[in-house]
Structure 1
Amino acid sequence: MNWDDLQVLAILHSEGSLAGAARVLGVNHATVSRRIAALEESLGHKLVRRLARSTPLTDKGREIAEIALEMKQQAHRVERLAHAAQGTLTGRVRLTAPPVLVSELIIPALRDLRAAHPALQIALSANSQLASLDSGEADLAVRMVEPQGRQNIVRRIGSIAFALYASPEVASLPPHHWRFIAFDETLAHVPQQRWLEEFAGDRPLDLLTGDFHSQRAAAEAGLGVALLPCVMAARNRHLVRVAQEHPAPRHVWLVIHTDLKDAPAVRAVADLLIETIG
């Protein structure tokens, strides 16, 4: 049996189709089909039912796929334990954080860490999605929503304040003429978006984007009033604060996988984040 074929089966189980598994693996669907067929032949069991629009697993296929997922999680644990055993600040630390915190706080703070430990590699992902520490996507994560679950080390390390900003030209308009820049449907659920909708009332939210950097650029261009993190906008010479009202700050959380809490390199990056964001 080719052990790699088990991973293909596990991904097929998660995605539900050959096309979905192929997309995750970065291959074509014929390759996925061929790998599954090879696994079926080596195990002597039919693992999938090949239908026109989907590829559901048989009962035996699901049972084996669940075992394969457990094997994958254990393999990631071996990697984490090996990483934690490193006694010097070398190797790679994978960090994921919201884009606004990466650009405004984390990247400027990395200079001293890199100077002190030139052999340390930081794999930094600016991503609003919640990366999975258990699946090996990251060693540490900075989040603006409270993490759930007990398998990770979680610490609240600071908060981010928000306020309304606009270009001087827009700021000079009477408030009842303001138009607003807001999130699109991908982030319509976040607390500051709900606050902005209530504050705007009948005034239009007519420019919708999916990230703070686009909203800042739109506000600088005079396209409306934006609710921005103060860490991004307060020192921006192209923007002025236009109202005293503001939503409650958003808490910032640091998450570390429990297997890595004592790894020197991970600890060094965590300490930097605690100091910088705090």
Structure 2
Amino acid sequence: MPNSIAETHRVDWDDLRYVLAVARAGSLAGAARALGVNHSTVLRRLGAYEARIGARLFERLPSGYVPTAAGEAMVKELVEIDAAIHDTERRAAGQDRRIIGTVRLSTTDTLMASVLPPALARVRAEHPSIVLEISTANRLAVLTRREADIALRPTASPPETLVGRRIAGLGYAAYAAPSYLSGRTADLALGEHLWLAPDASLGETAAARWLRANLREVEPVVRADSFVSLRDLAVGGLGVALLPCYLGDTSPGLIRLPRAATLDLGSTLWLLTHADLRRVARIDAVVSVLTAALSADRTTFEG
């Protein structure tokens, strides 16, 4: 039993974090990943909290956990509370002027597999007291919730809530291995090649949209959830992959298809952060070094 009002509030907020995580994820497994606990812990904590307040907050459906009317009302308030807490954290962090500590960077596996490591080496050389934490999950990290301090990502239109710097436009081209192209004529139409394509998880990327618009009759021989995987499959000779030039041109074992000139798909590389964090010295230092290093590779990005 809690022995003080403060402890009561602490226990309640711990439980409410579980409620909010389940609502955001729509499942126990997703909430467990977000909270860094196991599935059974989420199930136990949610069940105990519902029993304590005497209300069912979620309907357990085959498709996932859906808030009840009571759950919707509670989650609406929890979202506002959570946002206020993170706003307070960001403003406090914005007062930190020391070039020391941890900086969390969200980026893509394609950038990490090509041009980004040398730029990160420059950060390390110039600011050895900064510890970098890198995430390459293929989604734009929610900077407003401090899942990352900086995001380096291709996007046609950065969120208005973030501030950042445009690094370069991104060119794309079709790539294949010499072993695949051997025996195929140089003037073979793009639609007659064997294609390696992004799967549904990458369906809104610039490359996936171009393939749907221009090769709609083509059925890919392989789909993958990573452009690095598509690159590796192309190197293995399985077919043709549409890749950003900064990945394709820097990958040994790949050449551009003769008939596929550099394509401008409207994608741009941005370095983004939250407005409240741009005054943090260590974050500003990392942004400055990365901007200088990556801008020097503009021709690589534009293809």
User: What's the TM-score, normalizing by structure 2?
Assistant: 0.78
The partner residue of 1:106 within 111, 116, 136 is: 116
Q: 2:20 maps to which residue?
A: 10
Q: 1:126 maps to which residue?
A: 136
Q: CA deviation at 1:199?
A: 5.1
Unaligned runs of 5+ in 2: 1-7, 296-303
Change (3 A) 1:55 1:247: closer
Change (3 A) 1:150 1:190: closer
The partner residue of 2:248 within 233, 248, 258 is: 233
How many pairs are equivalent? 271
Change (3 A) 1:5 1:206: same
The partner residue of 1:254 within 271, 280, 283 is: 271
Change (3 A) 1:275 1:16: same
Asked whether 1:48 is paired with 2:56, we answer yes
- Give me the whole-angstrom Cα distance separating, in 2, the residues matched to 1:16 and 1:32: 13
Cα shift readout 1:35-61 (whole Å, capped 9, x = no counterpart): 4444x2xxxxx44356554563454x5
User: What's the TM-score, normalizing by structure 1?
Assistant: 0.84
- Give me the whole-angstrom Cα distance separating, in 1, the residues matched to 2:135 and 2:284: 18
Cα shift readout 1:93-124 (whole Å, capped 9, x = no counterpart): 11101211123122221112212222211111
Q: CA deviation at 1:16?
A: 5.1
Q: Is the 8 A contact 1:167 1:239 kept in 2?
A: yes
- Give me the whole-angstrom Cα distance separating, in 2, the residues matched to 1:128 and 1:19: 19
Cα shift readout 1:132-152 (whole Å, capped 9, x = no counterpart): 111111111122123454322
Change (3 A) 1:98 1:237: closer
Q: Is the 8 A contact 1:18 1:32 kept in 2?
A: no
- Which region of structure 1 is more displaced relative to structure 2, 243-252 or 193-202? 193-202
- Give me the whole-angstrom Cα distance separating, in 1, the residues matched to 2:122 and 2:243: 28
Report the 3-state secondary structure (helix = DSSP H, G, I; strand = E; otherwise coil) of the residue aligned with 2:83.
Answer: helix
Report the 3-state secondary structure (helix = DSSP H, G, I; strand = E; otherwise coil) of the residue aligned with 1:87.
Answer: coil
- Which region of structure 1 is more displaced relative to structure 2, 140-149 or 8-17? 8-17
Asked whether 1:179 is paired with 2:194, we answer yes
Change (3 A) 1:36 1:228: same
- Give me the whole-angstrom Cα distance separating, in 1, the residues matched to 2:194 and 2:51: 58
Change (3 A) 1:265 1:48: same
Identity over the aligned pairs, expressed in percent? 29
Report the 3-state secondary structure (helix = DSSP H, G, I; strand = E; otherwise coil) of the residue aligned with 2:243.
Answer: strand
Report the 3-state secondary structure (helix = DSSP H, G, I; strand = E; otherwise coil) of the residue aligned with 2:264.
Answer: coil
Q: CA deviation at 1:265?
A: 0.9
Amino acid in structure 2 at the alignment position of 1:127: A
Cα shift readout 1:141-180 (whole Å, capped 9, x = no counterpart): 1221234543221432212221122111222312256312
Q: 1:43 maps to which residue?
A: none
Change (3 A) 1:48 1:163: same
- Which region of structure 1 is more displaced relative to structure 2, 196-205 or 261-270? 196-205
Match runs of 1:49-198 below 5 Å: 49=57, 53=61, 54=65, 56-59=67-70, 61-147=71-157, 149-172=159-182, 173-174=184-185, 175=188, 178-197=193-212
Amino acid in structure 2 at the alignment position of 1:226: A
> Where do 4+ consecutive residues of structure 1 move more than 6 Å?
none
Q: 2:261 maps to which residue?
A: 245
Report the 3-state secondary structure (helix = DSSP H, G, I; strand = E; otherwise coil) of the residue aligned with 2:263.
Answer: coil
Q: CA deviation at 1:77?
A: 2.3
| RMSD between superposed Cα atoms in Å | 2.7
Q: Is the 8 A contact 2:119 2:294 kept in 1?
A: no
- Give me the whole-angstrom Cα distance separating, in 2, the residues matched to 1:57 and 1:204: 42
Change (3 A) 1:248 1:94: same
- Give me the whole-angstrom Cα distance separating, in 2, the residues matched to 1:37 and 1:204: 52
Change (3 A) 1:149 1:196: closer
Match runs of 1:181-220 below 5 Å: 181-197=196-212, 200=215, 204-220=219-235
Q: CA deviation at 1:181?
A: 1.5
Unaligned runs of 5+ in 1: 41-45
- Give me the whole-angstrom Cα distance separating, in 1, the residues matched to 2:68 and 2:213: 47
Q: 1:272 maps to which residue?
A: 289
